[in-house]
Amino acid sequence: MEKAGWAYYSSGADDEITLRENHHAFHRVWFRPKILIDVTNVDFSTTMLGSKSSVPFYITATALGRLGHPDGETVLTQAAGKHGVIQMIPTLASCSFDEIIDAATDKQTQWMQLYVNSDRETTKQIVQHAEKRGIKGLWITVDAPQLGRREKDMRSKYDEEVADVQDEDGGEVDRSQGAARAISSFIDVSLSWKDIAWFKSITKMPIVLKGVQRYEDVLLAVEHGVEGVVLSNHGGRQLEFSRSSIEVLVETMAALRARGWQDRIEVYVDGGVKRATDILKCIALGAKGVGIGRPFLYAMSTYGVEGVSKAIQLLKDELEMNMRLLGVTDLTQLNPTFVDVRSLSAHNSIPADHLSLTVYEPMTVPKFKTASKL
C-alpha cells in the first residue's frame, strides 16, 4: 500500500488507545463450551434486517477504497457476492454509488451508510435514490459531528481526486490534514433525535443508527422506532477512551431484557473484530450481527477480490470449527451462558497479544540530524 492509504486505513484517534482496546476487549471474554453434542451439521447462516446472509457478519462501510486498490469498493462487492455476504456502501466511497450497485448481482443484499449532509434536500435525494436502486437498509452514522484527531492520517496530504463529498457548491477542500478531513466538511453537526421522524417520512427502508456508545441511547432508539443500532466507537477513530463495543453490548442487552424490549430492535457491533471467536462472543451476548472493516480493506489492498474472498473463507472456516468446539450447531443456540464476561470491565487486565503487537505500527518517530560542530 501507499503510505497515505495505510495512514488513512490504520489510523485511530489521538494516542490510538481506543483503537487497541477494541481488539483487546475480546481477550477478556472467555468461553464456556458444552460437550457431547452432535455437531455433524453446522449452520452459521442468519437473517439481518430481514435479509438472509450466509454468515453473521457484514462488510461494514469504510471510505476511500481506491487508496488501497484501483477498483475500490467494487472489489468488496464482488467478493461479497461470491460468498453471500451483505455489503454496506459508504457515503465517502471512491467509486460512485451506482458503480458499486452495478457491480453487484441481482441476489446480493446491500445497505447504505449515510453521513448526513447539512443540506437536507441533498440528503433526501441520496436516500431516495438508494431506495430506488434496491438498497435494503439505511445506516445513519451518529458518532461523527466532528472528526476525531487521526494523527497518522493528518500527517499526510490527500492528493487524490476527492470522493463524492456531496459538496454541490464546489467549496475549497482542505488537503493539508489527511484524507479524512479533506472529504468530510459537509457533515451536519446539528443532527439530533428530532431528525429521526424526518428520515422515516422520506424512506421506507429500515433505519439503523450507527455509532451508539451507551445503553441509554439504545433505549431512546427503541422509543423513536428505529429498526436497529450499531454499538460502535467508529473503529477507535473518534472519541479517545470510548469503551469497546462488546463491553457496551453486555449492558445494552441487560437493559433491553429488563424491559422486555430485546425483540424490538436489532443490535449490531463493530470494531476490533479479527477472528470468528470475536464474532461468536458477540452473537452469544445478543448481537444480531457483526461489522468488519479494516481486515477486508487490507485483504483488498494486497490481493484484490481473491484476497477479500480468502479472508471471508477463513472466517467461515473458523466459524464452523469454533461452533463445533462450543457445542452448537446453529447460531440461535448461542446465549450468554456460553461466555464468561467477569473480566470485561477490568481494563487493566489484558492477556499479551504478541501477534497483534508485532504488526501494530505506532506513530513514526522523526529522524533527527546530528548537529554539526561549530
Which residue ranges make up each domain of the chain?
A: 3-359
148 pLDDT band (50/70/90 cuts)?
confident
Q: What is the pLDDT of residue 169?
A: 45
The region of weakest confidence among 104-118, 160-174, 355-369 is 160-174
Which one is predicted more confidently, 166 or 151?
151
Instruction: Name the pTM for this structure.
Output: 0.90
Residue 170 has a pLDDT of 43
Asked about 354 being catalytic, the answer comes back as no
Pairwise pLDDT comparison (357 vs 30), residue with the higher score: 30
pLDDT at 372 over 60: no
At 186 the pLDDT is: 79
pLDDT of residue 175: 54
For 243, list phi and psi in degrees, rounded to 5.
Answer: -75, 160
Percent of the chain with pLDDT over 90: 76
- Binding site feature residues for glyoxylate: 8, 115, 150, 234, 237
The pLDDT of residue 154: 81
pLDDT band at 174 (very low <50, low <70, confident <90, very high): low
* Residue 323 clears pLDDT 80, i.e. is over it: yes
Give the per-residue pLDDT at 145.
Answer: 85
Identify the active-site residue in 24, 83, 234, 354: 234
Distance (Å, whole) CA 270 – CA 337: 22
- SS3 per residue for the chain: CCHHHHHHHHCCCCCCHHHHHHHHHHHHCEECCCCCCCCCCCECCEEECCEEECCCEEECCCCCHHHCCCCCHHHHHHHHHHHCCCEEECCCCCCCHHHHHHCCCCCCCEEEEECCECCHHHHHHHHHHHHHCCCCCEEEECCCCCCCCCHHHHCCCCCCCCCCCCCCCCCCCCCCCHHHHHCCCCECCCCCCCHHHHHHHHCCCCEEEEEECCHHHHHHHHHCCCCEEEECCHHHCCCCCCCCHHHHHHHHHHHHHHHCCCCCCEEEEECCCCCHHHHHHHHHCCCCEEEECHHHHHHHHHHHHHHHHHHHHHHHHHHHHHHHHHCCCEHHHCCHHHEECCCCCCCCCCCCCHHHHHHCCCCCCCCCCCCCCC
To the nearest whole number, what is the mean pLDDT of the chain?
90
Q: Mention the CATH class of domain 3-359.
A: alpha beta
* pLDDT, position 168: 45
pLDDT of residue 356: 74
Question: Could you report the per-residue pLDDT of 55-105, keeping only the tens digit for each?
Answer: 999 999 999 999 999 999 999 999 999 999 999 999 999 999 999 999 999
The residue type found at 146 is: Q
